[in-house]
Amino acid sequence: MTRWQLQEAKARLSELVKSSQENGPQEITVHGKPAAVLLSRAEYDRLLRRKSGFIDFLRRSPLVGIDLELARDRSSSRNLDL
C-alpha cells in the first residue's frame, strides 16, 4: 500500500485517485500517522457485498442430500485404560 502525506494527497488528488484504481488502496497519513485509506469504487463495492452466512455455506456444500447414519453410544459409562 502506497503512503501519501495529507498535503501531498491534496496537491495530487487526481494522481491519488488513479493510483487507487490501478494499484489498490492508498494510505493517507497526517503527521506520519495513518489517518485514512482511499479505495477504488470497485474495491469498495466488493467489500460491501453481502457475505453469505454459515447456513448458506452448508446449503452450498457438495454433501447436501447425502443421508448420514450417525450412531451415538448411549451407555452411561465407558471403560478407560489408565
Q: Report the CATH number at residue 47.
A: 3.40.1620.10
| 18 vs 76 pLDDT, higher one | 18
Say how many domains are in the chain: 1
Residue 80 lies in a domain: no
Q: What is the residue range of 31's domain? A: 2-59
Query: Which CA distances in Å does 7 have to 19, 33, 34?
Result: 16, 13, 13
Residue 22 lies in a domain: yes
Residue 75 lies in a domain: no
The per-residue pLDDT for range 54-76, each reduced to its tens digit, is: 888 888 888 888 888 888 878 77
| 2 vs 72 pLDDT, higher one | 2
Supply 22's cell numbers: 490501478
Q: Give DSSP secondary structure letters for 28-46.
A: EEETTEEEEEE--HHHHHH
Residue 20 lies in a domain: yes
Question: Cα(35)–Cα(28) distance, rounded to whole angstroms?
Answer: 6
Residue 28 lies in a domain: yes
- pLDDT value at position 79? 77
Residue 70 lies in a domain: no
CB 21 within 8 A of CB 39: no
